Amino acid sequence: MNALAIAVHVVAAVVWVGGLFFAYVVLRPTAATFEPPQRLTLWAGVFKRFFPWVWMAIVFIMLSGYWLIFDWFKGFATTPGYVHIMHLLGWVMTLLFVFMYYKIYPAFVAAVKAEDWPAAGSVLNRIRQIVLINLIIGLSLLLIITALQRL
């Protein structure tokens, strides 16, 4: 069961962080060449499809992570330090996403729907900043955890 939990945990993290990487490094520069109505409408469609996957990833990461902490490591007291780092930064990423989803994203959707392109662009920039922060944290986690669990 722990092997399945690890696999679920890793796949969910790859879906989330990989999606952030694709959005920021590949899609963003390409979309920047579009005019605001096309670019912002594209992003609205991307977010509409990607965010449910992020929610699922968060659920699976949390369930599998806590399963491993309490089943494999027998609780937080005997959990290795790298798992505590993963736990803390995972919550930071999650809280940033939740904040963005409930406080910033609705303003983006409303601006796109109203075809208020300057406002939508401004809100998209705030979303971009959170995506960048979560991408940096996510990639750092992958590097740190991969290195530390081998020690």
pLDDT per residue as tens, the chain (151 positions) = 889 999 999 999 999 999 999 999 999 999 999 999 999 999 999 999 999 999 999 999 999 999 999 999 999 999 998 899 999 999 999 999 999 999 999 999 999 999 999 999 999 999 999 999 999 999 999 998 888 766 5
Tokens describing residue 43:
């992003």
Distances (CA, A) of 92 to 37, 58, 78, 141, 147: 32, 12, 22, 12, 21
Into how many domains does the chain fold? 1
Residue 75 falls in which region: left (phi positive, over 0), alpha (psi -120 to 50) or beta: left
pTM of the complete model: 0.94
Residue 29 belongs to what domain range?
A: 2-148
